[in-house]
Chains A and B, each alone.
Chain A
């Protein structure tokens, strides 16, 4: 049986360097998949020996896309170690900056990193602008809104602009893509809606960057959080500044409701068959650490916007509570020393690079029998987990969280979709849109809370602590939800310095290679069963991998072995590639 071995490297439109190798059968269905990150920086090693108060700025640079989320986790880990509770203003500011990051991240992800897996821009040029207006009303109407920017003039202008661009023959960032693939399912009018929103989202994301800069100083890489609180006093005590933030938030909220959600309905409906079949569903185990503190009790003791918990095997009737001591990392298939499962407090990051396996015709194949990625394989109680927006929504619904259940139910009902569509590539993408709406709505409440708190004279932004005594011997963790899922930083402090530091990031959970039992990581598992319309254009593989919003400051590259030559490889069930 002739199988093909696809190599896709680099996987673009992600943060970082990711490689995917997929084995497809004679029906072009993925039977095996391997994901590998091909870049290592060693930031955990760099953090050792530093002053714990300085770690946040440094740990933030783990990622420039989910920028600021590592910053918060790192600072929280130290605050947890020192048992410091931050003031109300600091909590609200951090929530607002992180909330703006969620909106920014999700919108950029859907439109700029994911949309081109659903939308064929060359088809958009064939659309009739008048019919497109009607189409836009249809999808926006599902959620009871007017459509964003829907007018014949706007659509015709977008077509003109892109036609001029396409006519040049050099397509720049749109060049050499899978345009015309049978894997695209939208009508020309629907493609035009997507393209028009792609352009609008470029502006919206720029404005969302400003929101983060108002309280964070700049974006990417904000700078206003410190152990004990925040520093942006002049921005929180100025009502005009909060008003500016609210103005930008209103615009983003409008975009979410009038463009993002309708577009997800549109894509979800047009790709509903795949969703109902559960294509891209993956592990079926979902874990959320919980996130966004909504009261001022000490860390991990108060209420949260997103509840924590674990749902196994897609069974919503049962939720397990999280115990962070059950988290371990396995490095059997990762380029590190050791094999044993270690808890992050005792985690080691000692590189042991063994390189690729066989090389043929200038293609290097992953040595999948052995080590093949810079990403470790995290386990929870010896089980593999998926984290991310879908996990947050599923855990929220399973736990009966009122707010999340309301938004998820409304979304499914209005779109006339059964809950099982969530367990798929489409569902993962939809969860992100639902969550954006939740976030936009609650951020307005947090803005008002901040404004009234400062108006009442509370300008406190920092909690004092005695560094010298507290840092003699301490340990703590910052575990919360980054846009891409549960993110944890674990720190051990001795004599005022970092003794050990480990971060287990969302993409570690999702993009991990196989574990010591040979069980697949979340990306790998989600690719199994995916049918590729044309193996020379592995669009469907990209779509599923992108649905996780890969963020691999040590990335994964999907490598397709130079075009047609793909076909000449025969592959045994695992590994052992031989020339046909």
Chain B
């Protein structure tokens, strides 16, 4: 089990991390006041569920300390200074003021399943006391016409207020008829646009909804695309990964409750708090990369000694996500923990570019600064056009790099 607060601290101390973790006192003071007044407004509103999370926590007695621990870790995950912790706690109580509608399109339900594994808050708290989840096909009781009615009523009742979570891609070939839903046989495309029109913001959850994911892998037989290719005029947040980490789903909702706005995004519309740094930056096997110690093939001595997985296809240096910090299933493990490299599942087109057992022929990991010293917005292009550097070269160079990592990028 990992201590997530400790892991988050690492992000702030990483020299290679390029996410802006200190925006100055003035910025945070303004945001703090904005959040305070937002929470005051929310508290004055009718709750969608009159259930007080703090009452429940207090009545159960045991969880209060754990809750505050989770709050401080989450505050840090959201890239906010510790002074925001009491506000994050309050925002968690007030999450039930924000209705969530969750629709499934061209999906495998993996993200619904991931939501079910949410550890903090736990899924039963999420379903009963925290989220106001109005529609969720994998879990809801109603079916058929009654499910449709449930959805229509929620849309009508919460017009302009709800967060629309979208799971799955949208097939556009053949007039969108590779996916239909409901008695009328509405296409996924029409369904999405209808639901998005009345939402406050759209959250694309999982790589299918963000970048098209697996159905969009070559040759993309159904012409699948992501939400941001279709929805216009609404704020969109992308939470990619296959599946998305439930911690990031909760993070986005919390941020919205706290500030009334979607979090700061990168050029791919991913929240910077979660996708502002690379897997590689905080990897537990990073020291082996720097020392030039690699697993050469599955099951070898390197594998038995937990060496770096780059040569067996790890795409951690090219992938932006907080897996190495948050991990999965209550911090139980993560892919690199089980000796299988990162497949880059939070990047666009990862099935065609990253998800294979061999290192990238054209990966140019700029070792002299201790890793790739680029933010995501600069990174992709540089990476794909760079000339090949042998792994031995940058492994040696990166060992040197540790000593002169202050010298800048190039």
Would A175 and B219 be within 8 Å (CB), given that A64-B113, A232-B338 are in contact? Answer: no
Task: Tell me if A271 is interfacial: C-beta within 8 Å of chain B.
Answer: no
Bound CA–CA A14/B298 (angstroms): 36
Q: Which residues of B contact A175 (CB under 8 A)?
A: 134, 140-142, 150
Question: Of B37-45, B260-268, B325-333, B369-377, which binds chain A?
Answer: B325-333
Would A553 and B108 be within 8 Å (CB), given that A58-B355, A218-B334, A224-B338 are in contact? Answer: yes
Q: Which residues of A contact B234 (CB under 8 A)?
A: none
Closest-by-CB residue of B relative to A565 is: B145
Would A170 and B48 be within 8 Å (CB), given that A41-B106, A206-B122, A221-B242 are in contact? Answer: yes
Task: Tell me if B51 is interfacial: C-beta within 8 Å of chain A.
Answer: yes
Within 8 A of A (CB), among B320-378: 327-330, 332-340, 343, 351, 355-357
Instruction: Check B110 against A12 for contact (C-beta < 8 Å).
Output: no
Bound CA–CA A233/B106 (angstroms): 35
Task: Tell me if A499 is interfacial: C-beta within 8 Å of chain B.
Answer: no
Task: Tell me if B180 is interfacial: C-beta within 8 Å of chain A.
Answer: yes
Q: How far is the CB of B125 from chain A (nearest CB, A)?
A: 10
Question: Of B299-307, B391-399, B402-410, which binds chain A?
Answer: B299-307
Q: Which residues of A contact B357 (CB under 8 A)?
A: 51, 53-54, 226
Within 8 A of A (CB), among B214-269: 214-215, 217-222, 224, 242-243
Q: How far is the CB of B144 from chain A (nearest CB, A)?
A: 4
Would A10 and B181 be within 8 Å (CB), given that A42-B221, A64-B112, A170-B132 are in contact? Answer: yes
Task: Tell me if A165 is interfacial: C-beta within 8 Å of chain B.
Answer: yes
Closest-by-CB residue of A relative to B137 is: A12
Instruction: Check B128 against A161 for contact (C-beta < 8 Å).
Output: yes
Task: Tell me if B149 is interfacial: C-beta within 8 Å of chain A.
Answer: yes
Q: Which residues of B contact A203 (CB under 8 A)?
A: 122-124
Instruction: Check A459 against B49 for contact (C-beta < 8 Å).
Output: no
Q: How far is the CB of B344 from chain A (nearest CB, A)?
A: 11
Task: Tell me if B24 is interfacial: C-beta within 8 Å of chain A.
Answer: no
Q: Which residues of B contact A15 (CB under 8 A)?
A: 108-109, 138
Instruction: Check B177 against A231 for contact (C-beta < 8 Å).
Output: no
Instruction: Check B51 against A10 for contact (C-beta < 8 Å).
Output: no
Within 8 A of A (CB), among B111-156: 111-114, 116-119, 122-124, 127-128, 132-147, 149-150, 153
Question: Of A340-348, A355-363, A477-485, which binds chain B?
Answer: A355-363
Instruction: Check A217 against B335 for contact (C-beta < 8 Å).
Output: yes
Instruction: Check A54 against B356 for contact (C-beta < 8 Å).
Output: yes
Question: Of A424-432, A487-495, A506-514, A555-563, which binds chain B?
Answer: A555-563
- Count of CB-CB pairs between chains A and B under 8 Å: 326
Q: Looking at the complex, which one of B128, B183, B329, B338 makes contact with A9 (CB distance below 8 Å)?
A: B183
Instruction: Check A224 against B218 for contact (C-beta < 8 Å).
Output: no
Q: Which residues of B contact A459 (CB under 8 A)?
A: 304
- The contact string, 1 if C-beta is below 8 Å from chain A, for chain B 173-187, is 010011111111100
Instruction: Check A46 against B217 for contact (C-beta < 8 Å).
Output: yes
Q: Which residues of A contact B299 (CB under 8 A)?
A: 228-229, 231, 233, 460-464
Task: Tell me if B171 is interfacial: C-beta within 8 Å of chain A.
Answer: yes
Instruction: Check A216 against B338 for contact (C-beta < 8 Å).
Output: yes
Instruction: Check B140 against A13 for contact (C-beta < 8 Å).
Output: yes
Q: Which residues of B contact A562 (CB under 8 A)?
A: 145, 183
Q: Looking at the complex, which one of A38, A161, A212, A231 makes contact with B340 (CB distance below 8 Å)?
A: A231
Task: Tell me if B281 is interfacial: C-beta within 8 Å of chain A.
Answer: no
Would A219 and B338 be within 8 Å (CB), given that A167-B50, A176-B147, A538-B144 are in contact? Answer: no
Closest-by-CB residue of B relative to A564 is: B145
Instruction: Check A223 against B338 for contact (C-beta < 8 Å).
Output: yes
Instruction: Check A64 against B111 for contact (C-beta < 8 Å).
Output: yes
Within 8 A of A (CB), among B50-82: 50-51
Interface size counted on chain A using CB atoms at 8 A: 102
Instruction: Check A561 against B107 for contact (C-beta < 8 Å).
Output: no
Instruction: Check B140 against A174 for contact (C-beta < 8 Å).
Output: yes
Q: Output the residue of B135, B181, B306, B356 with the most chain A CB within 10 A.
A: B181
Closest-by-CB residue of B relative to A366 is: B185
Instruction: Check B224 against A58 for contact (C-beta < 8 Å).
Output: no
Q: Which residues of A contact B51 (CB under 8 A)?
A: 164-165, 168
Task: Tell me if A39 is interfacial: C-beta within 8 Å of chain B.
Answer: yes
Would A65 and B109 be within 8 Å (CB), given that A40-B179, A170-B132, A231-B303 are in contact? Answer: yes
Bound CA–CA A213/B113 (angstroms): 14
Q: Which residues of A contact B185 (CB under 8 A)?
A: 9, 38, 355-356, 359, 364
Instruction: Check B306 against A173 for contact (C-beta < 8 Å).
Output: no
Bound CA–CA A522/B337 (angstroms): 42
Task: Tell me if B90 is interfacial: C-beta within 8 Å of chain A.
Answer: no
Instruction: Check B142 against A176 for contact (C-beta < 8 Å).
Output: yes
Bound CA–CA A553/B114 (angstroms): 16
Task: Tell me if B297 is interfacial: C-beta within 8 Å of chain A.
Answer: yes
Task: Tell me if B104 is interfacial: C-beta within 8 Å of chain A.
Answer: yes
Instruction: Check B339 against A13 for contact (C-beta < 8 Å).
Output: no
Instruction: Check A351 against B178 for contact (C-beta < 8 Å).
Output: yes
Bound CA–CA A206/B126 (angstroms): 13
Task: Tell me if A205 is interfacial: C-beta within 8 Å of chain B.
Answer: yes
Q: Looking at the complex, which one of B49, B117, B141, B298 makes contact with A206 (CB distance below 8 Å)?
A: B117
Q: Which residues of B contact A219 (CB under 8 A)?
A: 113, 117, 328-329
Instruction: Check A112 against B139 for contact (C-beta < 8 Å).
Output: yes
Within 8 A of B (CB), among A107-135: 108, 112-113, 116
Closest-by-CB residue of A relative to B185 is: A364
Instruction: Check A41 against B243 for contact (C-beta < 8 Å).
Output: no
Within 8 A of B (CB), among A497-524: none
Instruction: Check B338 against A217 for contact (C-beta < 8 Å).
Output: yes
Would A9 and B182 be within 8 Å (CB), given that A223-B335, A223-B340 are in contact? Answer: yes
Q: How far is the CB of B382 from chain A (nearest CB, A)?
A: 25
Q: Which residues of A contact B50 (CB under 8 A)?
A: 164, 167-168
Task: Tell me if A16 is interfacial: C-beta within 8 Å of chain B.
Answer: yes
Q: How far is the CB of B301 from chain A (nearest CB, A)?
A: 10
Bound CA–CA A560/B214 (angstroms): 31
Q: Which residues of A contact B304 (CB under 8 A)?
A: 233, 237, 459
Task: Tell me if A11 is interfacial: C-beta within 8 Å of chain B.
Answer: yes
Task: Tell me if A45 is interfacial: C-beta within 8 Å of chain B.
Answer: yes
Bound CA–CA A17/B186 (angstroms): 13
Instruction: Check A560 against B134 for contact (C-beta < 8 Å).
Output: no
Closest-by-CB residue of B relative to A116 is: B141
Bound CA–CA A328/B327 (angstroms): 42
Would A7 and B183 be within 8 Å (CB), given that A39-B106, A170-B134, A217-B328 are in contact? Answer: yes
Within 8 A of A (CB), among B149-168: 149-150, 153, 157
Closest-by-CB residue of B relative to A563 is: B145
Q: Looking at the complex, which one of B107, B180, B332, B338 makes contact with A64 (CB distance below 8 Å)?
A: B107
Would A13 and B222 be within 8 Å (CB), given that A213-B333, A237-B304, A538-B144 are in contact? Answer: no
Instruction: Check B217 against A218 for contact (C-beta < 8 Å).
Output: no
Bound CA–CA A222/B48 (angstroms): 36
Within 8 A of B (CB), among A90-118: 108, 112-113, 116
Q: Which residues of B contact A460 (CB under 8 A)?
A: 299
- The contact string, 1 if C-beta is below 8 Å from chain B, for chain A 131-172, is 000000000000000000000000000000110110110101
Within 8 A of B (CB), among A423-452: none
Instruction: Check B298 against A11 for contact (C-beta < 8 Å).
Output: no
Closest-by-CB residue of A relative to B183 is: A559
Q: Which residues of B contact A221 (CB under 8 A)?
A: 110, 242-243
Q: Looking at the complex, which one of B49, B149, B220, B334 makes contact with A165 (CB distance below 8 Å)?
A: B49
Task: Tell me if A57 is interfacial: C-beta within 8 Å of chain B.
Answer: yes
Would A561 and B221 be within 8 Å (CB), given that A41-B214, A161-B128 are in contact? Answer: no
Ranked nearest first, the 4 interchain pairs of A and B with the lowest CB-CB distance are A64-B110, A462-B299, A42-B221, A177-B141
Q: 6 more A-B contacts (CB under 8 A) besides A12-B141, A14-B138?
A: A38-B180, A164-B49, A176-B147, A206-B118, A221-B110, A461-B303
What would be 7 A-B contacts, judged by CB atoms less than 8 Å apart? A17-B179, A176-B141, A206-B329, A209-B116, A218-B328, A219-B113, A231-B298
Residues of A within 8 A of B (CB): 7-17, 38-43, 45-46, 51, 53-54, 57-58, 61-65, 67, 108, 112-113, 116, 161-162, 164-165, 167-168, 170, 172-178, 199, 202-203, 205-206, 209-210, 212-224, 226, 228-229, 231-235, 237, 351, 353, 355-356, 359, 362-364, 459-464, 537-538, 542, 553, 557-563
